Chains A and B, each alone.
Chain A
Amino acid sequence: MSTLSGRARAIGLVRVLRLVLVVSLALAGSAVMAGVAAADSAVPYTDPNAVGYIGLCDQSGHQITSGNINTTPFAWRAISSTPALAPYNNSWRTAILLAYQPQQGLSPSEWSGDELTASSRYTDPADPMVAATDGDDSLEDFIEEFHPKWDGFLQLRIYLGTEDAEVYSVHYPTLNIHVSGDNWTAVDGGSVNCNSGTSTSLESIVLPASTIDGSSGAGAAIASGSKSHGSKNASGAAATDSPAASTGRTSAAGATLTGSRALASAAVSDSSHSSSATLISIVVAALLALATSAFFIRRRRTASLSPDSGPTKAPMKGHRS
């Protein structure tokens, strides 16, 4: 009996480990794919749709984690830590920055929100990136409409877009910020490289530079690493290549829109397949988990078969035979 009991314990242990492994992998996969954000003690809520974080940059290409709510635009660039997945990583990829008003008793999908920018084309699908312009909102503009209702917190999100597809908002990167007086402070998030690519707002493509003064210039300054206003002006001039408003004529307007498509395509011309990095990471993580579990199972099994393991040895062999 004692032999059978030891054998049963060994088999049971293996099965339990298998069960734990299967469930863990399923949960891990679900968590990764569903993007369950780790509960952050900095905010009193959890957003199950959040995947990754957002980093904000100033006009000089430096990451910022705090600022004044009256600054326009709120931030010159917002970068996602989460790569864009197909089809939102194709050559028509866009990204847009929005703000939301967390409300107790409502799920994050029910929170009210508004856009802080227009959609932007960006160069690297591994780093979805939103460019702002002077034509975009300050945080105060948003707060005027949606006052913080939950301990002063607001949530920023980046949604993705592409040609012939609805905006992707099932999962999104977030940055939670706290507003106090005229100041905001990021309470989570992480490091981003503000110079990891370039991004161009639709406003810079189709509106006259005078409408969005300094907008695309900021993008150029960040993209090139330059902090000079010379770069701003150069880019601003480039933005005037396609001002529909400057002509209002079919040929010009047509050229503008055709131009916007061309620019959109050019803006993402260095498209890479780095968005597959996430998938590869998941697969590698799963394989590592499997290997680790197999190692421990085999070690325990080996231990149970060793001469020192006593009563479990013979039954196991007998069972095999």
Chain B
Amino acid sequence: MSQRITIDPITRLEGHGKIEIFLNDAGDVERAFLQVPELRGFEQFAVGRPVEEMPRITPRICGVCPTAHHMASTKCVDAVFHVEPTPTARKIRELIYNTFMMEDHTLHFFFLGGPDFVVGPQAPAAERNILGVLGKVGLEIGGQVIRVRRECREIINYFGGKVIHPVCGLPGGVSKGLDEEHRVKFLETARYAVEFARFALKIFDDVVLKNKQYVDLVVGDAYKLTTYYMGLVDEKNKVNFYDGLIRVVDPEGKEFAKFKPADYLEHVAEHVEPWSYIKFPYLKKIGWKGFIEGKETSIYRVAPLARLNASDGMATPLAQQEYERMYQVLGGKPAHNTLAFHWARLIEALQAAEAMVTLLEDKEITSPDIRRIPTETPTEGVGVVEAPRGTLFHHYKTDERGLVTEANLIVATVNNSAAITMSIEKAAKAFIKGGKVSEGLLNLAEMAFRPYDPCHACGTHALPGDMPLVINIYNSRRELVEQLRRE
């Protein structure tokens, strides 16, 4: 009897998502699909809007990472107007952006990714959440998690007005500057953030790396996927979240391409499938090869581990030490171990925190010179940042009044859409055999998509309770045979 397994809904992937797993007559996995039953049409309704309003419109694509959209959009508007932000404005933007990376990444670890390791993949579902983490590492740490999130979000609030949908980006600068009083205050937060990020890495060390069973899981085959990798790098090929060139490395780690964001259309293309509203990006020069991994693939991955794979190192000293150590343990670069995204995420949080300190120690950040008024006729531009969940592309064309005539967006998680589908299929194939579907599958399937940090990370484990996972098994007549759920 062939079977169908539905996991609906899973947590956010820039919207809603569901997983369909099909078993063959022998009860082994034949195919798995990640479907995204969601589309809102931003690229179409951008048309006619004043381009400087796009940084206030596009954050509504995602309320979890609105700062990423706001920043990509603001940079895109700079490009449309052919204007560069003033040095101070650029520093303020980088400060906002690194602060955002820091808080988003560490929160992911404690609320979402961490529970699998800190509490344990085999722990009862009811304990695999933030409360379980606190039970293991101590309650005072819970207070620190809340504090670091609140203080970082205060920095974004100060400039952006609202941390959920900030508003401060304008072509050539930002709308609000920094005074000395707040610089001193925020510098304290930044220093605390560095301590906190180091401390999070220490927890990862103590809990994961000192446990052979976990290390085996991280380096094991079920969670390995061989693909290309993409990320922004600075002039020294170091990881950069705000700006730089886009670098792609092949499955062996050799540089495959390095290009300006404005040239993205030569390198990236999106494939359409009839069974999902989400598209599937791939490397254009190779062409769409389907959902395959290995040397023949044209699928690339983005987000923390992908950025580290695509770079020659971290841009800050403490993060660089951690980078070297990670690749030592994983056996060299590139690392294809999907679970190592969690580790890379903490290393990136440390770089972001170190960058916050550097930016805030520089008094030029309090200069009132925060805007450069555009003087050229607006035309066309591309803006790219590294969102926590990967490379984020905004591309607008306008008429001479600066009203949008065309918009194209490739959203961070979308870059990973094919890889997430494949990771789920691979884990499902490894763990479902002979039609046996156990409670363990639920968490193992979950662990295959969680490293990509599907969007609504924090809410998932924030409360006592479980991941929204229900698996329905239907027979070939689509009658419900069995339902598995996490109680």
B and A form one assembly: no
Q: Which residues of B contact A (CB under 8 A)?
A: none
